[in-house]
Amino acid sequence: MAKHYIRQTSPHRIPVLGRKSVKWLAAPGAGPHKKNESVSATSLLRDFLGIAKTASEAERIMSEGNFLGDGKKVTKGSFPVGFMDVVYLPLEKKHYVITIKNGKFACAPKTGETDRKYCQVAKKHTMPGAKQVCTMHDGRTMPADKGLAVGDTVVMEVPSGKLVRLLKRQEGAKCIITSGKHAGTLAIVGKILERVGSMGN
């Protein structure tokens, strides 16, 4: 797996920052988010937030325990940070949430409910022993016996993963478009269309 992108050919979700200053962009490694749906912790500190001037400085910040993702210390620069992840920087005493703006990842300040994270139910499957489990968009799992359905959003406490409240996918619900030319747009669910087939709705 490549450890770097050439900035001009990086995934479409990643804005081309510092085009003239640095040629390479640190690529995310294995973790909770897919590579093309995340940015590395190093890139977040250096390119998005400007907290670090170099990759080495970003690595030092993390090695000293000054970068938390969803309430847990992150020590590897390749750690993938993705949509709705909550980042805390103890030295800055600031929380951020990863959002999408104009189709690109953005890092927005988070002031309220800093220990809360929004996760969408991506799929529902059966484990050995006929136990049903839901997998969230960030890879974490949760028992399906809590009334969860694919497309619903859960508000959970981080880092514990405790379910705080459930937001059902239904007409009239607020949502964020996460793909396509309108990615990053806040919207209201108008109508839910059911599709016939093996793919989810």
Q: pTM, whole model, 2 decimals?
A: 0.82
Question: CA 198 to CA 201: how far, in whole Å?
Answer: 9
Number of residues that make up the chain: 201
Cβ-count burial of 106 within 10 angstroms (0-12 exposed, 13-18 middle, 19+ buried)? Answer: middle
Which domains can be identified in the chain, with CATH numbers? 4-109 (3.10.290.10), 116-170 (2.40.50.740)
As a whole number, mean pLDDT of residues 132-141 equals: 93
- What average pLDDT does the segment 111-134 reach? 91
pLDDT tens-place string over residues 154-181: 999 999 999 999 999 989 888 888 888 8
**Residue-wise pLDDT tens digits, 83-101:** 999 999 999 999 999 999 8
